[in-house]
Structure 1
Amino acid sequence: MSNSQPAILAPVPAMGRYLFFSMVNVDALSAALTRLVDVADGTQTLVGLGPELVAALAVQVPGLHPMQAISGHGVDVPSLPVALCCWLRGSDRGDLVHLTRKIEKSLAPALKLTQLIDAFRHGSGRDLTGYEDGTENPVDEAAVEAALVPGGQSGLAGSSFMAVQQWLHDLNAFDAMATVEQDNTIGRRLSDNEELKDAPPSAHIKRTAQEDFEPPTFVVRRSMPWALGQQAGLVFVAFGKSFDAFEAQMRRMVGQDDGVTDALFKISKPVTGAFFWCPPLHEGRLDLRLLGL
């Protein structure tokens, strides 16, 4: 869809940076968002607005709501609401540093940068465990159908609902596994990325097989690995025409459907989680008409 932010359907960049902002001055919010429109192009800078920010403007975006924390069967999926998220994309880290400063200045004093995650593409698009990420991503028209709100209401059509989680890997625990256990955890062979037909029910791809849900839970994943000091993991990002598909997959991962917990939790855990609405573009600029701007 030509009026969506192009970063949603574009390939994952060589380098990325995720900026998470909290609100500090509601009275200055409208002016700050107006300035952001002049900075964010939807390609190098994708913008997602959180439910808290939209509520502060006394408006509604149909389908936007906070992520719910989920617990069960010994695992926890946290929710840490964020007012605004910017995903910066590029190939030069220095450029992303300068773009970060520009965005910070445009959003002050309404919003304050409270978390920053630098990320990168690993190889051909692999998680740090070595497995291909997003193998089952829909493509072309199927990706448009899965990720974007269809035509209709001006200011809403072409937008997308984005789920963002920072996952922290225990790579030592993963390395301690035998190769067959690693493959059974993911549900694919590391050697050739082939799906294991006899993988156990707890295998990650068995838990999240999009076509096995009713209705199917197709999303467009645009995740990127991250590393800081001795810690590393994945910034999981999923775009959908609603949050329904993501929420259905997370419920199954924690075992709410059948009591089977995703084996991925043995080697990784989410430490943050938030929902955002990514507005469409109008004449090449962020379309904030739904917000009254």
Structure 2
Amino acid sequence: MKVPTMEVIMSAHPQDVYKDAGECVLFVYLRFNRQDQAAELDAFRDFADTSQAINRSMNIRAQGDDLRVSIGVSRNGWDYLFPGAARPQELEEFKGLVNAETPSIAMPEGIGADADLFLHIRAKREAVVYEVAEQYRLSFKDFARVVDETHGFRYLEGRAIIGFIDGTENPTGIDAPMWAEVGSEDPQFAGGSYAFAQKWIHDMDAWRSLGTHEQERAIGREQFTDLELDDEAKAPNAHNVTSKFIIDGEENKIIRMNVPFSDPASGITGTYFIGYAGRWSVTKGMLTNMVSKKDYLLTFSKVLFGQVFFVPSLDLLDEIAGGDFPSGEAE
């Protein structure tokens, strides 16, 4: 396996950036009010502290519910909070991707471009997710507003909503930190992670009309067994072909989760994709391949928005909460 950094610094205190999709899931995009930067920075520092206290309390109150939370900040949000300060090396504003030959095959710019803050909350019970989110709201309501809120769920057998097992190729065990956490290449932000959060809507009628055989060609795997198809049995633009990102002959990986959401009575069903990586460039490379190679999924799916966020380590969150970041000389 190709290690993505010269030396990996394994943080003892990363946020929850590993595969644990949860039974009940909440994704929230927030935007700062941008009325009083100093006051909003102070309020965010309080939130950085209060949110961790809320998590600790809930993990005592609901010990068996496996609460997991990640909090991230976008490039625009980071620059607003910490103007002139150092920022994570690969943190940028995601503005979408378009296939020049087929403009309909795209990941367009949307409301994701307006997001400053991102919350990913998951647990075994919806009541736990609700309680944490409500307590968070009491903390952030004075400095930020909700741009998008999406409730997801665990589908049968841990499958994506289109019926295939999710996350088969995720790195696990001792390999996971090498791909999920920032390492020695950016030591000030080691232990952090880049989260890409993207919302898709699927034409489920069109998907079902393909039939099982064609669906398997589209994904590149057998639906029931999850076994990978031989190359000649896959569609040329099968998802597990186009989404691979190869550097110097080695596949680079991320921690990915595809969370279903649906309002079935109105026929709105989709996937909230969340990918965590120690390098945003790896996730971006995968997305670029999907668009340039016309990933089969994009023929029956519409991307509503997506944005990249930096998820600080818990140690850095503590620095922010204590007013110790930014520190040192500005860039």
Q: Say whether the fold is shared (TM-score over 0.5).
A: yes
Q: After the TM superposition, which residues 179-218 of structure 1 pair with which residues of structure 2 at under 5 Å, given as runs? A: 179-197=212-230, 198=232, 199-210=234-245, 214=249, 216-218=251-253
The separation in 1 between residues aligned to 2:313 and 2:27, in whole angstroms, is 19
Q: Does 2:232 align with 1:232?
A: no
- The aligned residue for residue 157 of structure 2 is 124
Conserved? CA contact 1:254–1:262, under 8 Å: yes
The separation in 2 between residues aligned to 1:38 and 1:70, in whole angstroms, is 36
Question: Per-residue deviation at 1:148?
Answer: 0.3
- The aligned residue for residue 126 of structure 2 is 93
SS at match of 2:136: helix
Q: Does 2:71 align with 1:47?
A: yes
Conserved? CA contact 2:15–2:69, under 8 Å: no
Quick one: which amino acid aligns to residue 203 of structure 1?
A: A
Conserved? CA contact 1:280–1:287, under 8 Å: no
Q: Does 2:97 align with 1:70?
A: yes
Question: Per-residue deviation at 1:94?
Answer: 2.5
Are residues 290 and 240 of structure 1, via their aligned partners in 2, closer, same or farther at CA, if it must alter by over 3 Å?
Answer: farther
SS at match of 1:188: coil
Q: How many residues align?
A: 288
The separation in 2 between residues aligned to 1:287 and 1:131, in whole angstroms, is 41
Are residues 24 and 63 of structure 1, via their aligned partners in 2, closer, same or farther at CA, if it must alter by over 3 Å?
Answer: same
Which whole-Å deviations, capped at 9, do the CAs of 1:99-123 have from their partners, x for residues lacking one? 2222122123221112110011112
The separation in 2 between residues aligned to 1:212 and 1:224, in whole angstroms, is 28
Which whole-Å deviations, capped at 9, do the CAs of 1:8-47 have from their partners, x for residues lacking one? 1252211110111011133322122222123333763210
The separation in 2 between residues aligned to 1:10 and 1:71, in whole angstroms, is 29
Q: Percent identity?
A: 20
Which whole-Å deviations, capped at 9, do the CAs of 1:238-282 have from their partners, x for residues lacking one? 111111111111111112xxxx31111122221110010000012
Name stretches of at least 5 consecutive residues in structure 2 with no aligned partner: 1-9, 56-66
SS at match of 1:68: coil
Instruction: Choose which of 65, 86, 90 in structure 2 pairs with 1:60.
Output: 86
Conserved? CA contact 2:24–2:154, under 8 Å: yes
- The aligned residue for residue 291 of structure 2 is 254
The separation in 2 between residues aligned to 1:191 and 1:153, in whole angstroms, is 42
Q: Does 2:140 align with 1:107?
A: yes
The separation in 2 between residues aligned to 1:94 and 1:85, in whole angstroms, is 20
The separation in 1 between residues aligned to 2:277 and 2:133, in whole angstroms, is 26
The separation in 1 between residues aligned to 2:49 and 2:246, in whole angstroms, is 40
Name stretches of at least 5 consecutive residues in structure 1 with no aligned partner: none
SS at match of 1:175: helix
TM-score of the aligned structures, taking structure 2 as reference length: 0.80
- The aligned residue for residue 303 of structure 2 is 270
Question: Per-residue deviation at 1:5?
Answer: 3.1
Quick one: which amino acid aligns to residue 225 of structure 1?
A: P
Of 82-91 and 32-41, the range deviating more from structure 2: 32-41
The separation in 2 between residues aligned to 1:152 and 1:208, in whole angstroms, is 25
Conserved? CA contact 1:125–1:132, under 8 Å: yes
Conserved? CA contact 1:168–1:234, under 8 Å: yes
Are residues 146 and 290 of structure 1, via their aligned partners in 2, closer, same or farther at CA, if it must alter by over 3 Å?
Answer: farther
- The aligned residue for residue 27 of structure 1 is 38
